[in-house]
Structure formats: C-alpha cells, structure tokens
Structure 1
Amino acid sequence: MPSNPASHARRAASERALIPRLDSWGKKLGTSANTQDAPKTCLWDSHYGPSTAAFGAFRQFICGAFFPWSIERQCDDAFHGRAEGLILPTGAIAKTRSNPITASRDRAELNGSPTECIYANYVMSGELHVQQGQHDLVAKRGDLIIYESRHPVIAKEKSDGPFENLSFRIDRDQSASLEKADADLSCALISAETMIAPLAACLFYLSENLLAIPTGEAAALFNVFSSLLPVAALAIAKDYGTQPQKNSAQRSLMRELLEYIETHLSDPDLSPKSAAAELGISLRYVHKLFAEKAMTFCSYVTSKRLDHIRRDLSADALRNEPAYAVAARWGFEDPSAFNRIFKEKFGVTPGRARTIDS
C-alpha cells in the first residue's frame, strides 16, 4: 500500500495534540512543584519535525520534565528519538528511546532547580553509567538506578542501538517517605534480581503502557512507585554484601535468558523448555526467574512479539502483507486468537493499528 500523506498528517496532528508547547514546560514546572494542576501527557517524536531540530527538541523535553540538565550527543549521526511523558503535581515520568546521550547536572543546573527531588532510571535497553560523589554505578537492562538532585551528577548512556529507559522525578517535598529513607536513596542501584516483586511489576507495567492507560491510572502507579522505592532501597541496603555472588550469577543468568528470547522471538518453538535447555538450567528455575519479576515466560514473550508485529504492520516492505501473515512470522498460528490478544494489548485491531501507524 503506498504511503498516504493525508493519513500521515492526521496521525501527526493527533499525536501533537498531546504535546504542550515546549517553551511553556519550564514555566509550568519551574514555578512550583506543589501545583495542583491535573496530570498532563506529553509526546515528542523526531519523525514529526525537521531532523536538524530533533536534538534541540529532545533536550527541551528532558529539561521541561526533569528540571535543568546539560545534555550532549555522543556522536554526530542524525539524532532520532521518541519521548512519552506524564507531568504530575508531585513529579514526572518519561519513557525515552533515542541515540545514546550524556547528561549532567553541575552547580549551575542545581541552582536553577525549583525544588529538590529524587531521580530514578529503569533501564529497558543498553546500559546507564551514573557518577555522583564517590559512587560510580552501572545499570543494565532491568535494573533501577536512583540518585540525588542535590549533588552534581553525570549520567552516560551506552548502547549498540537506541538506548531506552523509563525515567522518574519524585519531588522531595511531596513525599515524607523519601526523607525517612534519605541515606538509602542518595545513590543506589537496585538490580533486576534483587528488586522486590511489587516494584518490578509496577515498573514493567508502566514501561509497557505509559500513555496507553488512563492518566489517572498512570498517576496512581507513580504514587505506588514512590511509596515502594524507599522500601526497595532499604531492603537492598540491609542485604548488601550478604549474597553478592548469588545475586551476580542470577543477574547474569536473567540477562542471558532475555537475550535468548529476543533472538528467538520469531521461532514458533520458543518455550520455557527450549530456553532452559539452551541455558543449561531447570525448567522450574526459568519459571522462578520470571516469577521474581512478577510475570510469566509466556506473557513476556507474547508482549514482545506483539510489539514487533505492530512495528512490522506499518513497515513499507510489509504493507501489502495480510496481518495474519505478519503475525505468523512471530509465532501466532491462530488468526482469531492473535486478533483478540492484539486488541487486548493495544486497544485496537491489527487493521486499525496499521491505519493509525501508517
């Protein structure tokens, strides 16, 4: 099917309707963190603007949602990215996917912030290196890294492809629990393997559905995250040093498992049993690793396959391919079951999604 300029324009206009004017964000967020304004959704995509302005717009997005940062590109390649945000009276959430960047806050940025806050990054792909004071931490896929707005910090993203993460800003004056856990939240790493199950479930759900769920629901999950964060950090502080070898081995194994799944998503024979055989572990242990992340092997694989299918449905090379044929390439052999599961995840049929994304 040839590209439809009118359809493209309608989609662009629809998405831009979510975006507050970039030059007004700083004013809205900078006046006071105690504002009682309703939550606001924000969306930016380099696809909808001139490539020469992409990095500047992305930088404005970050500074608008997370207070002043100095953001630099790591290479001169064309900048591509997408950012989805939720601006709240008590903080902000943003899901970003872009070329790797280096971000820092020195004394100038600290002095320009209207309030003190806690920052947290949930890494979805790539690695995030954070240096703050004497701390030098590395967060990998599935890890959560926490650090302060009170002190200078350097955060460097590393990835062979786009870096993707879920970022949080939690205003300190809105959460008494943050002050009580001050030492544990100063600069900490919560690995995927040591993360408490409720926090893992909250992060996974937000990372998959940030702008797909009602704003009120997303805001409620932000409050859940804020409440769980001190509990999770305290648990890590108490357990630190007691099981380092076990945690390191389990963390490495989970990464191998996720990598195996990613490279075999299109294989209809992908299963917990095949993954266990590949990694040389028991089937029960495969299920245990996913249970500790508050999900199942099958639900994770299904969600990832659906993401790939939606992407492929809008690809130029596959526009004449029936949706059921695209689904079959990713292991869905029953068209009716595929249509039902696709609509449950995205809220629209495959055909409608193809029209929206084209």
Structure 2
Amino acid sequence: MQKNAIATQAGQQQFLTERMLSMVDSQQVPEANRLDYWKNHVHSANGLKIECATNNFVGVMTNRTLSNCSVHGVKIQTPHRAIRESTTQDLCFVNVQVRNEGARFNGNREFSMQQGSLILYEACEAYELDFDGASESLVIAIAKSDLEKRVANIQMHLDEAITYDPLKTTMLAGLLRGVLSINGETRQAVKDGLSEAVLNMLVATLYDCDEAVLKTPTNGSAAILQRIKSFINTHLDNPDLNPVMTAEAMGITVSYLHKIFLQNNTTLMQFVLAERLERCRRDIAKGDRADGISQIAYRWGFNDASHFSRSFRKRFGTSPRDYRADVFARDLSKLAANH
C-alpha cells in the first residue's frame, strides 16, 4: 500500500480489501490445498473463519476498495460455514444474497437467507453464515459511524430481519456487479463517485421499506436528526452555519438540538466539520487543477485556510497539498499501468 492508502479515511475504518488480494480464486491451486489457500488469503485478512468438510474448497472472491466503503463479490460452490467472532471494528456489512441453495444467518437474529434478499449485520456481533450448497453474495463493507450519518434508524435494520423492495435490491446488486467489473486501479475521483453511487443506492433501498417506515417514530429524535443532517448538508457552504441557525430552521430549541447530537456521541459542529472536510477531500482529489486548495476550502464554508489545513491533517493524516500530490501521482501511475 502506498503512503496513506488514500489517506482516505485515516482515523476511520480500514476496509477489508486494503488487506486482501483484488481476487482470491481457490482453483489456482491443487484440490488438496484449496481450503488452506482460502484461509490464508481470506480468513487471515478479514477474520472470517471457514469450516468445510473437504479440502477441495471451490470459491472466488473479488474485492474493490472505494472511498467510503468496499465491495466484495463472493461465489462459492462448496457447502460451508463462515464464522466471525465479535470484534471492536466499526464495520457494518450489507449482504445481497444473489443465489444460494439454502442459507441461514445465526447471530443476534436467526433466519433463512432467501435468494435475492438483503440483510445487514455488524462486525461487533458474533455471527455464523451456513450455506448448504453453492452460493453467490455481493457484500458492502462500510463503517457503521458513516452509515449512521446517512440512515438515522440504522440500528433497527441491524437488529431485525426486514424484507426490502426486490426491485431496489436488484438495482443495488447490478451496481455492485458493475463496481466489481472495473479495474481496481482507478483514479481517486472515480472511486469517490462510485462510492457515493453505491451508498446512495443503499440508502434508497433502506428507506423504501414499509417495515422500516412504520417502525420509525415520525416525531422521534431519530427522525429529527435525519432532518437536521439533511438541512446541514444543504447549507454546508454557508460559513455562518451554526446551532442557532439550524435550531431555528428546524423549529426546535438549541438545547434540544445539542441533546440530539450528544445522544449520538458527537456535536453539531463536529458533524459539520467532518462533512465539510469530506467534501473538500473529494474536490481536492479531482483532476481539475483550476481550483486552488484555499478556494475549495472557502467553497465548503471554511473561512480560515490555516484552520482548514490543520483540521484536514488531523482527520486524514496528511496536509491538503500533500494529499493532492499523492492522489495525482497515484492517478498518473494507474493511467500509465492501464495503457
């Protein structure tokens, strides 16, 4: 991995693909060695233990790291059990079960995984996935803290077995297949765009769900928090964005506004800063050199270049200037490699 790997999300979750091959194919080795090969390249990298009755384990796993998430395609011909012990990782998994010949999830919930279904679970909860035969899964790995920014009632999706709209699930599966089909060595700005496309499609799928809507209080703090975050993201470019302005727009008191964010272990201005920094990172990573770094910072509501630079370094582990240079160097290297 190069310096900062993308510095992408220093201080945030290191995704599984950063420690794995872009493709793991057990059929590249003799039958007697296939299970060990899979364990060496999958279990050792992401902690997902495999139990199987035969050494002739036939499986292919394709991995792509984007910016805010990673995508994994898993095709396995052999009946097996995948076991994860609980960890402290801030990771959620979104599993689209494209095909299976009988599969079950055993964790904080127990249920049959139907073909075409979508389920969410998290790394901090121990679980087992049992497959009676051949299976194909498309998986998104994303930091739970990032998903919470986008879906206020995400814990409900993690705690309950919910049926999602099959059309939306199919659309999400098609997008994930497209991501897996592209060259993993692509420009950072492209990864940023693909990451947002994947997460936006996921959020649309989660929200277009009657079970989730009916179980979410329309006047509860979760719903209000989602409205607040939507307002903030619409006004990030306003340097005067602050708790008073936000509370007035939401029709609530400033003290209640602070209480809502404290319940989520953050503050409004910490959330604003994180969102502004991410927008700046994406723009800095784009290939258009017309905008200087200070211009980008001012565009997203910063009014002090020094404060922006310090905040950027603290969050991503590198200065904005060094980050831009590193991204451009990697993009040029990938462009040369692809030609």
TM-score relative to the length of structure 2: 0.49
TM-score, normalised by the number of residues in structure 1:
0.47
